[in-house]
Amino acid sequence: MTLLSDFTKGLFAENPLFRLVLGLCPALAVTTAAINGLWMGLATTFVLLGSNFLISLLRNVIPENVRIPAYIVVIASFVTIADQFMFAFIPSIHAALGIFVPLIVVNCIILGRAEAFAAKHPLGPSVMDGLGMGVGFTAALLIIASIREIVGAGTFFGVSLFGPNFQPAIMMILPPGGFLTLGILLSLINYWEDRQEQRSRYRRRRLAQEGHHHA
């Protein structure tokens, strides 16, 4: 049960992008098209899995005072693997993602999970944590990228949705559009959170009232 919760917490409760607000640089820079967001998410998931796996395995071996450089070297190695793989097999996506592929090294999510989780937990939970965070991050990237692509270019995964006469809001695929999209999405999440809080408060009050009636 806890293995599953290690995975699912990365999807909603501790979604790295919407809740922990980490990994912002790639989240806004590459989400100009849904396909780019998807591949960035997959690459990050791969690196997260690999680094969590290795760091959890080596957690009792790496000395305390060199742990940060050690983690960084591990993460950088996996990033280089992902970088070379994408360069070889999907060169057009690799070109679109640009310097943000090597920048996965300093993606705060990966170093953060390595230090906060993988360094202190055994192999199984660490891998599930990495997987959950990666999938949650990918989903978040897809949401942002889809919105920006549909409104900003009129396409979805390259497929034109509204025909040739559609005037897209180009600002959406420019930097301000990225910031505004994320800001509005975060406000929707705030709204949803408030509704949850209201509902549970209402439920509690009703329960208290019913308690009084019975007494």
Site of interaction with other proteins (CB under 8 A):
21-25, 28-29, 68-69, 72-73, 76-77, 79-80, 83-84, 99, 102-103, 105-108, 111, 171, 174-180, 182-184, 186-188, 190-191, 194
CB-wise, 2 or 92, nearer to other proteins?
A: 92
CB of 113 to other proteins, least distance (A): 13
CB-wise, 160 or 187, nearer to other proteins?
A: 187
Distance CA 31, CA 6 (A): 27
- Taking CA atoms, 50 is separated from 44, 67, 158, 184, 197, in Å, by 10, 17, 31, 33, 37
CB of 212 to other proteins, least distance (A): 12
CB-wise, 97 or 128, nearer to other proteins?
A: 97
- Token output for 168: 């897209």
CB of 147 to other proteins, least distance (A): 14
CB-wise, 5 or 187, nearer to other proteins?
A: 187
CB of 125 to other proteins, least distance (A): 24
- Token output for 113: 């999970």
- DSSP for 157-202, written as a single string: TTEESS-TT----GGGGSHHHHHHHHHHHHHHHHHHHHHHHHHHHH
**Under a CB-based contact definition with an 8 Å cutoff, are residues 27 and 150 in contact?**
no
How many angstroms from the chain centroid is the CA of residue 113? 12
Residue 82: name the closest of 129, 39, 34 by CA. 39
CB of 11 to other proteins, least distance (A): 19
CB-wise, 7 or 117, nearer to other proteins?
A: 117
